[in-house]
Structure formats: C-alpha cells, structure tokens
Copies of this chain bind each other. A is one copy, B any other.
Amino acid sequence: MHTRQSLTLSSLAKSIDAQLVGDPELQIHGVATLKHATPGTLSFLSHKKYRRYLANTKATAVILTEQDATACPTAAIIHKNPYLAYAHTMRLLYPLKKVQPGIHPSAVIDPTVQLDPTAWVGPLAIIEGSVHIEAGVFIGPGCIIKTGCRIGSYSRLIAKVILCDDTIIGSRVVIQPGTVIGSDGFGYAQDDNQWQRIPQVGRVCIGNDVEIGANTTIDRGSLEDTWIADGVILDNLIQIGHNVQIGEHTAIAACTGISGSTKIGKKCLIGGDVGIAGHLEISDGVCLAAGSKVTRNLHGPEHYGGVLPVDRDPLWRRNIARLRHLNELAHRVQQLEHQVKTMIWNGQMDEIYKEATPDI
C-alpha cells in the first residue's frame, strides 16, 4: 500500500517545520525505533520510557524535543511534538502508492455504474447497479459495492469490504478488509413471543477523511441514517448500531460496541472494549477509559472510567465475594454509627465526640 522514499535531513526538517542540528546532506531511507535503528534510518523520542535507548542508538538522526536534544548522539531534528513529527515523516518516507486507473477483467460491474476513469476496481470486486464512484477511488480485491452506493474521491477500500445498498462514503476514506457497512440493524418488534423483523430503510452516511478498521460492522439506520462524521477514526471489530451518530474527529478503539440510536459528540476519545447502551447522548470531548460500560448520558469534556483491573485469583475472589454483600455491609456500618452515636450521647462520654472525629 506504501512505497518508500529517501530524503535528506534538510528537506525533511523543512517539510515538517523542524530545526535541524547536524549535517543537512545526510540521507534517510526509513524509520526505526531507537533500539533497533540502523545507519540510514531516522528514529524518534516521544516518551521518556525510551530515553535510555538514546545514547546508543545507531540511527542517523533522531526527532526529539529541544530538552532531549542536548543528549542526542546523532543529528537532531528538534520539534515540540516529536510523535506528530514522526507521523509526518512517515507520510513523507512511505507515501501511499498511487492508484493505477483501470478495471481488473475479473471484476463484475453493472453497466449502470458511474465510474470515474481515474479509479481502480480490483480483481473479483462486484459493483451493483446505480453506484457512483469518484476520482482516484481504490476498490480492492473482493470488495462488494451494492446498489445505489456513492464513494467519494480518493477513498480506499483495501480488500473484501462490503457496502450494502445506498451507503454513502465521503472522500479520502480508508476502510480495512472484512468490514461490513450498511447491514440491517437489529430492529424487531415482539408479537406474541415471535420476533417481527422491521425493515431497515435508513442508510449509512460516512463523512470525509474517516478511517475504519478490519471486520468492523456499521448498521444502516432504521428510518433515518446512521452517521459517521468527518475525521472519525474507528479501529477493528467495532459494532455501530442503527441510527448512531458519531461527531467529527472522535476516535474509537477496537472491540467497542455502540448500541442503536446513541449520539456521540465531537473529539471524543473512546477506549477499546467499551460498551455504550442505546438512546444515550455522549457529549463533545468525553474520554472513556478502555473497558468502560456506559448506561447513562455523559457530559464532557471529562474523563470517565469504570473497569475493574484484574488481581491475583484468591485475593480477587475474596473481594468479589464481599462485593455481593456490599449493601448488607453498608447497613452494618450504618447500625454501628447509630450505636456509637448513642453511646457518645449517653452522658458519660460527653467529651468524646469532638475527639472522635478524625480529619477525612
């Protein structure tokens, strides 16, 4: 998916708006961690945990902050945000392969498809009727684009991505393999103990610059559309229920599930393995720690957590056994408080109460 470029340190520093300390003509052919770098590669120091590898790195140059630069044994590329500078460097050194226009002869394409001549349709891809595909789009091998979809310019469906009927994809969207967009939502009414399927007639609409991981599922709306706004990033194995709305630039890590009709704001950070119940509102800027389970509206910007970290087994079992009687324990504490208060008030002990109140 990527090609590899070479750069001189001077052109790199200029491109990423960094200050260079060292020979401007040195060539960089790749990027590596401080520990595993070899001559000709660039490395970066973005977390103090890795500072111990700086002195002995074999990299040709290191991206780091001004503070760390004094200890840098190699050419230094000074930037106030080395991780971001690393990201920009990676994009310069490993640019996306240009899309070669064309249609693989094994692809199955309906004659009514409007396909920009600069797009690529890979082997054994299927494009059904009334689909509209814009400039520079990459439809990877084995993708299925069902009736009525639209895919915006320069979007890339890596391989075996499935877009169900009428799905709308913006520009510069990247979708990893195995992901299903526009599957029917889980909408049923109970009728005398049988489940009556409710036709799901909304769509999925995905904005620009969205990135979606592998084997993720996004259900179509029941009546209105499921919406993923511009700049959202979704990891692997995520479930997005019908009618969900996700605001601009929100990030969601793997294995998270969002139930139907929930609205998530802009710039939220949602960890992995999070579960969010249906019909909730999570406002802009909420940060949810991995493993959190959400059953009420949350207001941001604010950090929320809720996972129980593991413990050694017998320890955990004892605590958990107590948790099942926590309500009872609280009642016992309440009773003790009453008894002690009564004793204190009971005459002989007038002086105790004041002393007995510790600082909390």
Interface residues of A (CB under 8 A from B): 1-2, 30-33, 36, 81, 83-84, 86-88, 90-91, 93-94, 96, 104, 106, 108, 123-124, 126, 128, 141-142, 144, 146, 158-160, 162, 164-165, 174, 176-178, 180, 183-184, 186, 188-191, 193-199, 201, 209, 211, 213-217, 219, 223-224, 231, 233, 235-237, 239, 241, 249, 251, 253-255, 257, 259, 267, 272-273, 275, 277, 288-296, 298, 302-313, 315-327, 329-340, 342-344, 346, 348-349, 351-353, 355-358, 360
Contact (Cβ within 8 A) B214 A183: yes
CB neighbours (8 Å) of A86 from chain B are 189, 198
Q: Closest approach, in angstroms, between the C-beta of A352 and any C-beta of chain B?
A: 5
Q: A197-B91, A303-B313, A332-B337 are in contact. Are A213 and B183 (CB under 8 A)?
A: yes
Q: Which of B272, B275, B304, B357 contacts A257 (CB 8 A)?
A: B272
CA distance A201 to B251 in the complex (A): 21
Q: Mind listing 17 A-B residue pairs with CB under 8 Å?
A: A123-B126, A126-B141, A160-B160, A176-B184, A178-B217, A194-B209, A215-B217, A235-B239, A290-B295, A294-B309, A295-B309, A307-B308, A318-B327, A319-B323, A339-B344, A340-B340, A348-B348
CA distance A267 to B214 in the complex (A): 28
B324 x A323 contact (CB < 8 A): no
A320 to B306, CA, bound (A): 8
Please report the C-alpha to C-alpha distance between residue A163 and residue B313 in the assembled complex, in whole angstroms.
38
> Judging by beta carbons under 8 Å apart, are A311 and B318 in contact?
no
CA distance A30 to B199 in the complex (A): 12
Count identical subunits in the complex. 3
**Chain B nearest Cβ from A320, distance in angstroms:** 7
- State whether A223 touches B33 (Cβ < 8 A): yes
Who on chain B is nearest to A104 by CB?
B108
Task: Note all chain B residues with C-beta closer than 8 A to A235.
Answer: 186, 239
Q: How far is the CB of A104 from chain B (nearest CB, A)?
A: 8
Question: Are B177 and A231 in contact, with the CB atoms below 8 A?
Answer: no
A236 CA / B256 CA spacing, docked (Å): 12
Distance (whole angstroms) from the CB of A284 to the closest CB of chain B: 11
Residues of chain B within 8 A of A191, CB atoms compared: 84, 87
- A2 to chain B: which residues have CB within 8 Å? 199, 201
CA distance A267 to B186 in the complex (A): 16
Contacts of A201 in B (CB 8 A): 2, 30-31, 90, 94
Q: In the complex, which residues of chain B have a beta carbon less than 8 angstroms from the beta carbon of A197?
A: 87, 91, 174, 211
Q: Assuming the A-B contacts A183-B158, A310-B293, are A330 and B327 also in contact, with contact meaning beta carbons closer than 8 angstroms in the complex?
A: no
